[in-house]
Structure 1
Amino acid sequence: MIRKTRTASQLQDEVSRRIQRLPDIVEEGVKIRVPRPQLQQPDASGCNWDMKHFGNLAGHERSVAAIVAAVRKEFSLSTDTKDLNSLFGDGTPGEK
């Protein structure tokens, strides 16, 4: 399966969205802090990122790990430097 490429913010948002839709999370009203994905050398599956150190995770480790695993199968972390530049407004048309 070919992975789609996403920025760190997009991956963080996707994982957060999926976590916040879990029935147990919704029922308990828990807000889990999702860290930014960290770039790594591609592992055996070919994934080039991982997430560690979630906040307020107690009791939901398995569910969150399953979501991260699913998102890692679908997406790669963008290594394109223009994504970084856009955070600071560099190279954006019309800026002075």
Structure 2
Amino acid sequence: MTPTRPNILFIVLDTLRRDRLGSYGHKLPTSPRLDDFAAQATRFDRAVAPAQWTIPSHTSMFTGVYPGEHHVVQSTSVLSGAYATAAELLQLGGYHTVGFCNN
């Protein structure tokens, strides 16, 4: 029998204010489903963005490398093949990976 791997889900909300979410103490019901999910999920309460905007921050999040090293700092930047992404490493571990993005 093959051991079951846990599902891994990254939910990344760029430019969302923490103080407007119920799971962080907001009094109005602005995010009930996200609050329910957060109550059951692993939540990183002390995470700090490595850059001030999306492209370098997300590249760092999914490589573990700071922007000064990966150099993906503009919308036209390309990540060097020298850096593995979380998706690539998960695939090597037998996971099927997919990404969805909407802006």
Band the TM-score falls in, shorter-chain normalisation = under 0.3
Hey, which of these two has a bigger chunk of helix by percent? 1
Hey, which of these two has a bigger chunk of strand by percent? 1
TM-score using structure 1 length: 0.26
Which has the higher relative contact order, 1 or 2, with Cα contacts under 8 A spaced 6 or more apart? 1
Q: Who wins on radius of gyration, i.e. which is larger?
A: 2
